[in-house]
Structure 1
Amino acid sequence: MLMPPQPTSTEMSSSMSQSPSTTSTSRLTPSSTTNSIRSLDYTPTETLGLIHLRLLHHWTVSTSMHICKCPKTLWIWQEAFPQMGFQYPFVLHALLGLAALHIAYQSPSERKQRWLDGMYHHGEALAGFQKQISNVTADNSEALFTWSICNVLYIFAMSNPLQDAVDGVPSISTLSRNDKVLGAEWIPMIRGMNAVLEPTHNYIRFGRMKFIMSLGNWDEIDPGQDSCGSEDDYFCRVRDTWKDSNSSEVYEKALHILRKCRLYSLQFQNMDPKMRDDWGYNKEWAGPLIFIHFASDSYFLLLKERQPPALVLFSLFGALLHGVDSYWFLRGWGKAIVEVIADVLGGYWKQWLSWPLQVAQN
């Protein structure tokens, strides 16, 4: 059931002051109708409070539009996801949780209460997801996929490195700041989406979610032919960090993907506005995150081991992520990644971090 934390006294008094009086209600509702409903022994199946309505409204008119800035696919976030949530409550909880965090981001005076709302709805969403994931079918695959996307955004928003802890709100993680920034939580979540997608991938790919699954011209991008300029030179220079490494092939493949990610993201800066609006595929914030999806398990093991070449490569990812810093849930992440890596590696490796550090300061 949709039972949120108890509303604050302000919210309760507001809802009471806006409620029609008993007398006015009786004039508007014939007693015969009331009696007939009572005779049916009618009991509402859900309890929907004003805060739920506010969060759902905020999702529709604000949060969804700040996540998806592509007119052609906005309807999926704005309409299809809530409709799915009415069938699968764990999806609705995921949307409400994100909306609550978005309000907390926008309105410092409400931060604590909305933060608590976000944590509550995420907990409910997670519980519902865990029940459904044990039996993935064509019917629930879209809902599971939607929850997986929302969960990644939630973790980014909740663990935002720029935000101070909320007074009186317990931390959701026992990890150190460096571990959180370098992906101990969110990298497995992004890569774990494959487990959700694999059983019913074709069903989702050819359904209404195809536009937010497609990467457009990703397969056509060739860094060897399309790359030029000083930025790509910075990327290629990092090869010096693994020239004597037994893992050079792993690093080389990771670099290839990063160079593709840069080109994929770059095209939107130079694209005609109308073509940009009509793109209809993932763009902007999806560009850097493609790296997390396509890089190998071997690379992420080296990153977890804090191998210097793996960290240098990840600083390039951080620089790309900083390029989409205007998205509220990604604010500060790119800069934090680059700065943490510079701190972990120390002075010797700064020569390969000069470009990411320069980007992160802009």
Structure 2
Amino acid sequence: MSSSEATSPWAASGVTRRKRRHTKSRAGCLMCKSRKVKCDEMKPECGNCIRFDVACDFLPWPDRKAWASKAPRLDVKRPGRPRANWSCRRVNLVAAPTPEMQSSLARLNCAPDSSPPLDVDSLELFHHYMTTTAATLGDARLWRDEALKLGRQHPCIYHIILSITAYHLAKLRPIESLRYLILAEQHYEAAVRGATSMLPRLDINNCQAIYIVTVLICFTAFAKGPAPGDLLLVAGKGSVPWLSLLQGVRLVLESIGSHVVFTGILAPRNYELEPKICSCTRTGGLSPLVLEQVCQPHYLGWDWRKSFKRVGDLASSHPDPVLVAMYKREFESLARCFETTFGAEHVPQSCTQGKVSVVMAWVYLLTPEFLERLEQKAWIALVMLGYFAVLLQTVERYWFIKDWSSHILREVRQTLGQDFNDLFR
């Protein structure tokens, strides 16, 4: 027996000495791992990193950046064997974090100053659109769900959605109307710019998006409300942006084909909130936010065909045969809209409840030649616009069209004078 064994307390007691157990961990800091030493895993800095004056990756990211900006102490010498200059590596460790560090920082250490700005106004408008405005535009499924899917690739749809919602809120909350009107105009201009830029490259991939945004731009133009001297289709100065866009879309869609556009989410279906039973006798199922006045029973005694014939006879007496042919086309198009709305001569409607798609079909098909005559305040063109205002009155249950009919009729009568009043009776 050796002397060491003889003097060992373990040998004297006859107990076999066991290794002291320790818990293994891989959660140590990266600096200790690179130095191949055991890390005590103390937070916010482990003991080894404090001892050797190096950057511990347990430190929060802002503290590490500030710590790395300190000049490294290269002149410090300590007793013992020479060691690698670990303090020089602290800048590299902080400046070039590993992928593991980056993912950890992204999850755990989001600094307040790195957060993106929160657009509270847009969130407010979007919430109101989803909960209220979308249902007032017609087919809620189309405007609330499908249109938003197209908006992911075409932001102009989001802009016009926020614009018409801001106009809606301006009507519902008059005290805050100025703020909403400013937001509405900002988003409207952005939407028109985006839609106009899409027009030259319109194809089968984006034709539905441009159609959706154009319809919403038209709705928003109505939602702005009438202004003195505004005839809706012509402006006092310059062109009407939404009408120019609508005319451009019509020309391009004619070349692509309606069968390509009106498929999928735009497949033919009833896009309007039309009750199966006339709302003269039943209005309980219709939202008051959508319907202001539903039927126009006072049209029952009005013979619009007789009025149309009188105006048509006067238009036929024009000395220019080219203009006569143009007016005849527009009159026939307007007459089809009237017949669809008020019924055929032998089968009149018991009450009138117009559809936006039918009413706006006349505007959609207008030729540049007619719009030019309207800008020149030609009396025949103004009279036809007055009859279009009658059609608008049948869809004034939609909040964004309300008041336009009476405004246009008033402006037309003031422009033409009393000599033409008989043409509107």
Quickly name the TM-score band, shorter chain normalised. 0.5 to 0.7
Would you say 1:161 and 2:226 are equivalent positions? Answer: yes
State the secondary structure of the residue aligned to 1:208: helix
Q: Give the drift of 1:133.
A: 3.3
Q: Give the drift of 1:100.
A: 0.9
Q: Identify the range of structure 1 (46-55 vs 286-295) with the bigger mean alpha-carbon deviation.
A: 46-55
Would you say 1:183 and 2:219 are equivalent positions? Answer: no
Distance, in Å, in 2 between the alignment partners of 1:52 and 1:263 is 42
Q: 1:299 to 1:205 in 2, by over 3 A?
A: same
TM-score, structure 2 as length reference: 0.58
Distance, in Å, in 2 between the alignment partners of 1:304 and 1:233 is 27
The one-letter code of the counterpart of 2:358 is G
What residue in structure 1 maps to residue 331 of structure 2?
255
Q: 1:188 to 1:137 in 2, by over 3 A?
A: closer
Distance, in Å, in 2 between the alignment partners of 1:86 and 1:350 is 50
1:220-272 deviations in Å (ceiling 9; x for gaps): xxxxxxxx9723222222123224212333222222211211122236x9599
State the secondary structure of the residue aligned to 1:139: coil
Would you say 1:293 and 2:293 are equivalent positions? Answer: no
Equivalent in 307, 313, 331 of residue 234 of structure 1 = 307
Identity of aligned residues (%): 20
> Which structure is higher in helix share?
1
Higher Rg: 2
Q: Give the drift of 1:114.
A: 0.9
For the 8 Å contact 1:318–1:337, the answer to whether it is kept is yes
Distance, in Å, in 1 between the alignment partners of 2:271 and 2:261 is 11
Equivalent in 113, 118, 135 of residue 65 of structure 1 = 135
What residue in structure 2 maps to residue 204 of structure 1?
261
For the 8 Å contact 1:144–1:196, the answer to whether it is kept is no
Would you say 1:305 and 2:383 are equivalent positions? Answer: no
Q: Identify the range of structure 1 (184-193 vs 90-99) with the bigger mean alpha-carbon deviation.
A: 184-193
Distance, in Å, in 2 between the alignment partners of 1:51 and 1:322 is 33
What residue in structure 2 maps to residue 54 of structure 1?
124
Q: 1:199 to 1:251 in 2, by over 3 A?
A: closer
Q: Give the drift of 1:316.
A: 0.6
1:256-312 deviations in Å (ceiling 9; x for gaps): 211211122236x9599xxx9xxxxxx612222111122333332322222212211
Q: 1:38 to 1:271 in 2, by over 3 A?
A: farther
What residue in structure 2 maps to residue 284 of structure 1?
355
Distance, in Å, in 2 between the alignment partners of 1:45 and 1:88 is 25
What residue in structure 1 maps to residue 86 of structure 2?
none
What residue in structure 2 maps to residue 167 of structure 1?
none
Distance, in Å, in 2 between the alignment partners of 1:135 and 1:45 is 36
Q: Give the drift of 1:336.
A: 1.3
Alignment: residue pair count: 282
Runs of 5+ consecutive residues of structure 2 not aligned to the other structure? 1-101, 273-300
Would you say 1:352 and 2:352 are equivalent positions? Answer: no
1:76-101 deviations in Å (ceiling 9; x for gaps): 11101122223322211111111111
Map of 1:1-362 to 2, 5 A cutoff?
Answer: 35-37=105-107, 48-68=118-138, 73-158=139-224, 160-161=225-226, 177-184=228-235, 185=240, 186-195=242-251, 197-198=253-254, 200-201=256-257, 202-211=259-268, 230-245=303-318, 246=320, 247-266=323-342, 284-353=355-424, 355=425
Structure with more relative contact order (C-alpha pairs < 8 Å, separation 6 or more): 1
1:160-203 deviations in Å (ceiling 9; x for gaps): 126xxxxxxxxxxxxxx425445332543432331453454443
1:15-56 deviations in Å (ceiling 9; x for gaps): xxxxxxxxxxxxxxxxx9973536899x99975533322211
CA root-mean-square deviation: 3.5
Distance, in Å, in 2 between the alignment partners of 1:44 and 1:209 is 42
Distance, in Å, in 2 between the alignment partners of 1:97 and 1:46 is 23
